Amino acid sequence: MHHLPAPLRHALSLALLITTGNAAAIDSATLANSCLSANCLDYRIVGVRYWLRCTPYGCKVKNSAKVRHYVPDAVVSSYAETGANPWREVALMSPPNSAAQDGGDSTANQVNENALLKFKNADVIGHPGTLLFNRFASQFGYSCNGAGKPFVPYVLSSFDFLAWRYNIPELLYPEALIPGMREVGILGDLWGSVYPRGGFLYQADDYKTAAVAAQRAGDVVTRSGQPHVYQPLLSKASPGYWPAGALNENDANSGKWQHLQPSMSTSCSVFPNTETLPQAEDGAYVWALWRPYSCCKRQGQTFLGSTGN
C-alpha cells in the first residue's frame, strides 16, 4: 500500500513551482539553514573498522574511523487546516480533496467534559537542506548519508485518508485498544498514544496534539509494510554503513525533533519537551526529524572486524 498514487506524484511536480500566501508560512531557504545545528548533529567517533585491501602487489590491512551522527531526514508538518501546510513551497502537495476536507477541533457532547477532540493533518517530506547539511557535517570529518531525499513526499495525510481520518484498520490494533501501550511522554506528563496512527486526539494543548500527530507520522514512514498510503523513509545497510531504523517514542537513539514553526530552535530533543511549548495561532507546526546514522570510509574489499561500537 505504500506506492504513491498518480495524483500525489502530480501534486509533487506542481507544488515545487507554486507558492501559497499563508501568512505564517516557512520557506525552504529557512528550513535549509536550520540544519546547521551542531547540537542536533551530535557528531561522534564510536570505533575503528579494519579492512583487507588487496592489489596485484599484495594485501594490506587498512583501518577507518566509524562515526555516528544525526541527519535531518525530513520535515514534518502538523497543521489543522487541510491544504494549508505551513511549508510554503510544498503546500499544494497535500490539497483538500473529496475524501479529505476541512480540519480543526471539536468539543465533546458532554458539557462537563473539557477535553477537546483535536485533528491535525501531517505531512512528511524530505528535508530541503541536504546539500547544505552535507557540507556542514563534512567539517567534522567523514559523514553519513541519510535516507531522506529533498522535497520527496513520504506521507501526505490528505491522500492517506482511510488511515488518517478513519483509523482503518488501526483502530482494532492491540496498541489502540489497550491503554498505556505506545504512549508519547512519561508518567505524569503523557501527551497521547501513538496508536491509532491517525489525526484525531483528545488533548487540550494544541502543541502536544501536533507533536503526537508528528510522532505518529514519523512512526509510519520509518517502518515498511504499514497499512498507509506512503513510501518508507529507510535506507539499506551495506558494508561500512549502518542506517537509522524505526522511530520510537521517547527514545532519542531512534530519532530527535527540532522545532521550526511557529518558533525556531537550534537544538533537538524527544517529546515531551521540557521548554515552554509555543502555541501557533493558526494551529500549524513544523519539525525537522533527525535520525542517527553510522558509517565509516571503506578502505578495502573485505571487512575484517572492529573495535568500539
Q: Over the stretch 218-252, which tens digit does the pLDDT of each residue have? A: 999 999 999 999 999 999 998 889 999 999 999 99
CA atoms of 214 and 270, how far apart (whole Å): 11
Helices marked H in the chain? 6-15, 28-33, 38-41, 130-138, 161-166, 174-177, 206-221
How far is 76 from 124, CA to CA, in rounded Å?
5
* Positive or negative: CA dihedral 65, 147, 43, 216: negative
- Which pLDDT score, from 0 to 100, does residue 6 have? 47
- What residue segments make up the domains of the chain, in order of their start? 6-31+73-122+151-288
CA distance linking residue 161 with residue 72, whole number of Å = 26
Q: Which residues neighbour 278 within 8 Å (Cβ) at sequence distance 6 or greater?
A: 207, 259, 262, 263
d(Cα 276, Cα 56) in Å, to the nearest integer? 63
Q: At residue 234, what are phi and psi to the nearest 5 degrees?
A: -140, 150
Q: Are strands 284-296 and 256-261 parallel, antiparallel or unpaired?
A: antiparallel
C-alpha cell at 233: 523513509
- pLDDT in the model for residue 20: 36
Residue type, 246: A
Which residues have CB under 8 Å from 69's CB, separation 6+? 41, 42, 43, 44, 137, 140, 143, 144, 292, 293
pLDDT value for 240: 86
Q: Strand pairing partners for 118?
A: 105, 201
φ, ψ of residue 214 in degrees (nearest 5): -65, -40
Residues of the chain with pLDDT under 50: 1-2, 4-23, 107-114
Distance CA 26, CA 9 (A): 22
Per-residue pLDDT tens digits for 289-303 = 999 999 988 888 788
Please name which of 80, 79, 51 lies closest in space to residue 66, comparing C-alpha atoms.
51
pLDDT for the residue 103:
66
Do residues 103 and 25 lie in contact, with contact meaning Cβ atoms separated by under 8 Å? Answer: no
Q: What is the dihedral of CA 215, 219, 220, 224, to 10 degrees?
A: 170
What integer pLDDT is reported at residue 115 of this predicted model? 57
Asked if 78 and 214 touch (Cβ cutoff 8 Å), the reply is yes
Q: How far apart are CA 53 and CA 291, in angstroms?
A: 31
